[in-house]
Structure 1
Amino acid sequence: GSREVPEALGQPRLPAAAGVGDADLHPHHHQGHPRRRGGPPPARDVPPPPPRQGLGPARHRRQRHRDEGRVQARGGPRREGPGARLRGAPRDRLLHRAAHSARALRRSPLSIRLKGITNDTKDPSVDTFRMVTLHMLKHFGVPLEGLELKIENRGAPPRGGGEVLLRVPNINSTLKAVNWIDEGMVKRIRGVTFSTNVSPQIENRILYAARGLFNKFIPDVHIFTDHRAGLSGGLSAGYGVSVVAETTTGCLISADATVSYPNVDEMSEQSKKPELMSPEDLGEQVASMLLEEVAQGGVVDSTHQGLLFMLCALCPPDVSKVRVGQLTPHAIESLRNIKEFLDVKFIIKPDPNSNTVTLKCVGAGVKNLARKIS
């Protein structure tokens, strides 16, 4: 569906092992560049959207189109817009291109500044990305030193106003194949509640409701609070929570939820004000969601299945073996995209005893040209 389009557009830019050179991984050169001999014609990026009225002279509009989506090594590009989403599929595509593909396999660090919505109900939040997604890389041999996602401003729907800064250092190592099938036992639960432009007491109500359910199973539960108001709270009011279960084998299982207030200016006088989920119900809901994710089994939660498969496909030509819970529609579509664009096929073996699925593949062998050759 439409949710898979960003992932499908980003994957053709990931080079395979055969014929990979410095020009292939450079952001402004592709294999078969007109100034180079041989190779297929360069893959074209999606054309920029037509200019909107009110943007000023034509020269300014052309400059804006040239600058949109440009990834630079220094100075950091911006992705912004009123109510723009900076999570979910855009988030995964940035990680593919910045942390595991050509963007991270460069000889200089990368800095990206994103503006828009940071927490909503459609995609994993920036808290999950910071606490779970980035930490997945260490299982594939990527050092976490210098890898950072800084939440400068939070932005709830519908108007957003959030801002985050993603820094990816120069990575001198290559991805390594994994044998990651043991999720272990949950030893602690961590999390963070947030509130933007509402009473900070809402966070305590979420926290107590979630802990009330978690403490029935495990005593080591700690959830931080993050209250934002004014500029750091964005342009809309809302609240939410992200929780993570850490296991004895280093697996991180996550769940999050968000409640946002509607835009009063866009509501008509006749329209009914929608009922919002109470903080107590939200805390209990996200706690139940995390317990369900843990009960499904697997080394990652359902949100990160597609990213896990992509990392396995980008590994050197060695066998990777992982175990996950029930495959989600997004994960199934990711497997199809990986097969089509990277020519990597997974062997899928369900386990009826644990209701989990074991997957094996041989990596495409993407090379790290930032690595020094002795």
Structure 2
Amino acid sequence: MPAVIENDTLVYKGSNLFRQRLLLSTLSGRAIRIVDIRNSHNNPGLKEFEVNLIRLMDKITNGSRVELNETGTSLYYQPGILIGGQVTHSCCPQRGIGYYLELLLALGPFCKEPLNAVLQGVTHHDLDVSVDKIKTAALPILLKFILVDDGLELKVVRRGAPPLGGGEVVFKCPVRRHLRPLQWTKWGLVKRIRGVVYALRVSPTMANRVVESAKGVMLKFLPDVYINTDQCRGSNAGKSPGFGVSLVAETNEKTFYCAEAKSLEAGSGETVLPEELGRQCALKLLDEIYRSGAVDSSFQWLLALWMALGQKDVSECVVGPLSDYTIKFLQHLKEFFGVMFKLEVMRKDDDEESDEEKAATAQTVKMTCVGIGYVNISKRTL
């Protein structure tokens, strides 16, 4: 539901898109109130992972004000100043580290001090993008806006599968006073495919079987395929058994598409064959390549955020079909910042492409907006 404005506070109903609203509230400085949080559920109110997210926000801001009623069904959030700096946070195992990491990636450039965050928990979760996908497909997008790679880093120290996790990552992000506008309308052709298969507390042969299956599919598409194995041992293997694969396709225009698949959670009573897992991930990557566009579909919303907050100039980017999450995010950008995007479905010229070429890609969308000229007033200047 769209927001209702009461005394300059945006009021929302329900728990959907909780992270989006918390993120944009912090960046815009606008207070939000969320009511009727899971009112009709047997266990009403905020979930443990949502409370955990608020704790993380409190660590990277100064002066935030949070009011929660006794049942947890009503939340008032008045954001403080983004300070960043050194942060260590234990993530709730109900969600993956990627759930929290995406938020830090969006906020990192606008902190007062360069962010140096240590996150502990589940590195690969069914509900969230993995740390591998963020590293290979999301960080290159941010580099387009900040240009210089002076301290942007994501290091996987230990991997951790659900339900117990045990993984750890270190994320470092430099700060910027403002983001540059972006014109990104070409994504090129896929030139190589790389990947990593991890095996945690299971037989190393599992990883090899996944590699062979995934390569069997990808080699029919492209000859330059290399998949590495990460057979973690001891404390580096986390606390629960599991295995999975992450594949990334790189184009000659520095666009990265990523797909991933993982084994079912230990104790669920179900199993998945390594061969099926490798094939499933390869087909997901082919689908992502088919969607085309300049960014991976999982990170369209991040692209939209940084375009909207850029300097007061026109930014444009061509993406694949918009995800539902991105559509909701664009609506929130309008409510918090007043930014509206022009969305233009790209029509294919009959004279320029053959029928085979038209069938090889989905219909793309050109996103255009004028940045609001967001300035990081906390960043220290010489």
TM norm structure 2: 0.77
| Cα offset, 1:309, TM superposition | 0.7
CA contact (8 A) 1:120 1:259 kept: no
Deviations 1:168-207 (A, max 9, x none): 23x3563111111111100111111111110111111111
| Cα offset, 1:121, TM superposition | 2.0
CA distance in 2 between counterparts of 1:226 and 1:314 reads: 38
CA distance in 2 between counterparts of 1:48 and 1:124 reads: 31
CA distance in 2 between counterparts of 1:189 and 1:206 reads: 15
Q: What does 1:43-122 align with in structure 2 at a 5 Å threshold?
A: 44-45=65-66, 47=68, 73-88=84-99, 90-99=100-109, 101=110, 103=111, 106=112, 108-122=113-127
Q: What does 1:247-286 align with in structure 2 at a 5 Å threshold?
A: 247-263=251-267, 273-274=269-270, 276-286=271-281
Q: What does 1:109-258 align with in structure 2 at a 5 Å threshold?
A: 109-169=114-174, 171-172=175-176, 174-258=178-262
73 and 357 in structure 1: CA distance in 2 versus 1, 3 angstrom threshold: closer
SS in 1 for 2:208: helix
**Match of 1:330?**
325
Deviations 1:302-322 (A, max 9, x none): 111111111111111111111
Size of the aligned set, in residue pairs, is 318
Say which is worse superposed, 134-143 or 179-188, in terms of deviation. Answer: 134-143
**Match of 2:381?**
372
361 and 172 in structure 1: CA distance in 2 versus 1, 3 angstrom threshold: closer
| Cα offset, 1:84, TM superposition | 4.7
Deviations 1:278-303 (A, max 9, x none): 11111111111111111112111211
Q: 5+ residue gaps in structure 2?
A: 1-13, 30-59, 73-79, 349-361
RMSD: 2.6
SS in 2 for 1:358: strand
188 and 46 in structure 1: CA distance in 2 versus 1, 3 angstrom threshold: farther
Q: What does 1:270-309 align with in structure 2 at a 5 Å threshold?
A: 273-274=269-270, 276-309=271-304
Identity among equivalent pairs (%): 36
241 and 48 in structure 1: CA distance in 2 versus 1, 3 angstrom threshold: farther
- The amino acid of 2:61's aligned partner reads P
- The amino acid of 2:26's aligned partner reads R
- The amino acid of 2:170's aligned partner reads L
82 and 121 in structure 1: CA distance in 2 versus 1, 3 angstrom threshold: closer
CA contact (8 A) 2:105 2:173 kept: no
- The amino acid of 2:264's aligned partner reads S
| Cα offset, 1:209, TM superposition | 1.0
TM norm structure 1: 0.78
70 and 347 in structure 1: CA distance in 2 versus 1, 3 angstrom threshold: closer
| Cα offset, 1:120, TM superposition | 2.0
**Match of 1:38?**
none
CA contact (8 A) 1:172 1:372 kept: no
SS in 2 for 1:109: strand
48 and 317 in structure 1: CA distance in 2 versus 1, 3 angstrom threshold: farther
SS in 2 for 1:76: strand
CA contact (8 A) 2:61 2:81 kept: no
CA distance in 1 between counterparts of 2:81 and 2:234 reads: 30
CA contact (8 A) 1:298 1:325 kept: yes
Q: What does 1:18-29 align with in structure 2 at a 5 Å threshold?
A: 27-28=61-62
229 and 142 in structure 1: CA distance in 2 versus 1, 3 angstrom threshold: same
Q: 5+ residue gaps in structure 1?
A: 17-25, 30-42, 52-68, 268-272
CA contact (8 A) 1:83 1:159 kept: no
Does residue 362 of the first structure (1) align with residue 362 of the second (2)? no
| Cα offset, 1:44, TM superposition | 3.5
CA distance in 1 between counterparts of 2:196 and 2:220 reads: 19
| Cα offset, 1:330, TM superposition | 0.5
More strand by share: 2
CA distance in 2 between counterparts of 1:75 and 1:333 reads: 32
